Structure 1
Amino acid sequence: MKVLVTGGSGFISGWVRKELLARGHSVLVMDHQDRRQQLADGEEFFLGDVRDATAVTEAAAHVDGIIHLAAVLGTQETIHNPRPSAETNILGSLNVFEAGTQYNLPVAYAGVGNHFMRLQGTGCYTITKSAAEDLARMYNAYRDGGRITIVRPVNAYGPGQSVAEPYGSSKVRKILPALSCRALVGNPIEVYGDGTQISDCVYVADVASTFVTALEHTAAHGPTEKPVEVGPLESVTVNDIARLVAEEATRYTGREPVAIKHLPMRPGEVPNAVVSADTTTLQQIGMTAADFVPLDEGIHHTVRYYAEHWLPGYLAA
């Protein structure tokens, strides 16, 4: 297949593109920023924004399937500025679903692992991504050509994920870069809340494999009955994740593991929340979380990446 990947220059998208190429597919990368210089063999670039219905329809006319990853991210960030996430995550997704339906294309849509929290007054990111899930179900039920499988990863992590302030330029804080960078420079790891909440993490290569498998399954058999949830078999607390990162960082710093510092919960975060995946849903596409990268191994790869690729530049700045 030739596959359109929206938001094609992002963190998860980069791993999805590698997985598609490894399986013999070709890729049309769509992004609103011109990143065509980053293309690999087997990839083409389409400059466009998913909020532009004409651009999405034009891109869809040249492919055999779509993996829709374009989104405005953030928890408290989208609370203070909700309009961009509403425009991209809802209207942009509507454009993708409409174009996919027009051309009878299989679509794998990136839902959100904490979808249930939209009922608890959480951030605009969760609300808007969940609204797009409702649209996907509508297309599958009532529109000829609606072939959309929802894929819900929990927190994806791994090498290459962007680093937020004060250690990088990203505006959105992600758990593993935030913990890893603090530990590597010897600062206490900051955990919001008491750290007993469950916020499961899944290695990005497994997320990418799931998206591609979900698209291939949808092309052959139609959309899955339930959303495909992507996460580990066993849940751990945020404190557990922090401890693993702190211990892994000592391999590179030679210092004792840094302390864990607890901060008040941020707007949009729910105390004692349990963000985990129903991994039995992977069976719908012939996958199992038993084959996923274990958390300790994934954290080893991730902390090593930041130690080797981020830390030298940060120390030299």
Structure 2
Amino acid sequence: MKALFIGGTGTISSAITRQLAEQGHELYVINRGRRNDRLPDGVRALTADINDEAQVAGLIDGMRFDVVADFIAFEPAQLERDYRLFAGKTKQFMFISSASAYQTPLSDYRITEGTPLSNPYWLYSRNKIACEEYLVKMYREDGFPITIVRPSHTYDERSIPLGVHGRKGTWQVAKRMLENKPVIIHGDGTSLWTMTHNSDFAKGFIGLMGNIHAIGESVHITSDETVTWNQIYEIIADSLGVELRAVHVASEFLAECGDIDYRGGLLGDKANSVVFDNAKLKRLVPDFVATTRLDQGLKATIRNILEHPELQQEDPEFDAWCDRVVGAMEAAARAVKEG
């Protein structure tokens, strides 16, 4: 199989790239070359800014692909560019959308591909919906061979997946745990969530590549395992060898007092209980199964981060914000008690 990835070194795409290389497929990636040291041997890098349409058109002149996949498109204009570049050059075009595009709040916590797409809380999700709508239009009107893939919360060995964190990633939350500081969990921590290791996501994605039954379809790829946020944070604390000191804070409060977009990330996504039905994926890819249990995957991630200090990016600004939020909650509780 001859494939071209726009991106190829991110959390989701890196595992797919690695598995395709191991299987001996002919893979090209288009990116700016900043993280190409992560590419496996045999993967061919086309160094370019995908937004420079003329440059990319020159690089792929005369080339045809079995699959083209865009991992870094977020707005319809970027898909319009992809259509101009790849219409007639690929047998399948795969777009990475987002499970956050599904109806928020949900009318039924069990999510299938038939769940309506609607998210009034998060512009990111609405843009993904608009991207999907454009691609479906081009499939219906012009036969552009699309497959839409919706990941949920996918993680790898380089970052701890969490609900509330700062702009510089999630290490600071782990650092707070190691320092016996309280950590913030949105809501009461009992809402249901699904996390998927990127190696499991890759198995489902590769099964959709070159799959004639996936043309014109939208498919989500997630684990079948569902846990609460309290369980997630307990697993992380246990992996660090510490006791969890959790402070539960309403998502609405965090959205109001945070200087980053907790409204979208929480109210438009992680504050909602979600359980994914992967029956459609398993019909299309009969041998798909997510085999990385969350506690095992998180422990491996944390072990890797502890062994690589370069992955431990501190975030003093977020740390101070956590202290202020925790202090405000404690002060409110005292004020109520004292009347």
What range is the shorter-chain TM-score in? Answer: 0.7 to 0.9
Match of 1:223 in 2: 214
Contact 2:139 2:216 in 1 (8 A): no
Instruction: Note the 1:29-48 alignment, pairs <5 A.
Output: 29-48=29-48
Tell me the percent identity: 21
Aligned partner of 1:200: which letter?
Answer: T
Cα shift at 1:25: 0.9
Question: Which shifted more, 300-309 or 118-127?
Answer: 118-127
Q: C-alpha offsets along residues 71-116 of structure 1, whole Å, 9 cap, x if unaligned?
A: 4xxxxxxxxxxxxxxxx53222232244332314312221101212
Write the distance in 2 (CA, Å) between the matches of 1:36 and 1:173. 21
Instruction: Note the 1:191-202 alignment, pairs <5 A.
Output: 191-202=185-196
Matched residue pairs, number? 285
Cα shift at 1:183: 3.4
Give structure 2 stretches of 5+ with no counterpart: 105-116, 252-261, 315-339
Write the distance in 2 (CA, Å) between the matches of 1:58 and 1:205. 33
CA 1:193 to 1:125, structure 2 compared with 1: closer, same or farther past 3 Å?
same
In angstroms, what is the RMSD of aligned CA positions?
3.1
* Correspondence for 2:100 among 114, 137, 147: 114
Match of 1:210 in 2: 204
Q: TM-score, normalised by structure 1?
A: 0.77
Q: C-alpha offsets along residues 11-58 of structure 1, whole Å, 9 cap, x if unaligned?
A: 222211101101211221211354444443212222233333334444
The answer to whether structure 1 residue 123 and structure 2 residue 122 are counterparts is yes
Write the distance in 2 (CA, Å) between the matches of 1:17 and 1:186. 39
Instruction: Note the 1:9-28 alignment, pairs <5 A.
Output: 9-28=9-28
CA 1:137 to 1:298, structure 2 compared with 1: closer, same or farther past 3 Å?
same
Q: C-alpha offsets along residues 151-195 of structure 1, whole Å, 9 cap, x if unaligned?
A: 11110012024899xx9xx94646xx5654543454433222322
Give structure 1 stretches of 5+ with no counterpart: 72-87, 251-255
Contact 1:113 1:276 in 2 (8 A): no
Q: TM-score, normalised by structure 2?
A: 0.73
Match of 1:75 in 2: none
CA 1:183 to 1:278, structure 2 compared with 1: closer, same or farther past 3 Å?
same
Cα shift at 1:205: 0.4
Question: Which shifted more, 12-21 or 30-39?
Answer: 30-39
Match of 1:90 in 2: 76
Larger-gyration structure (1/2): 2
Instruction: Note the 1:55-66 alignment, pairs <5 A.
Output: 55-61=55-61, 62-64=63-65, 65-66=67-68
Q: C-alpha offsets along residues 133-160 of structure 1, whole Å, 9 cap, x if unaligned?
A: 112222222213x111111111001202
Give the match's secondary structure for 1:216.
coil
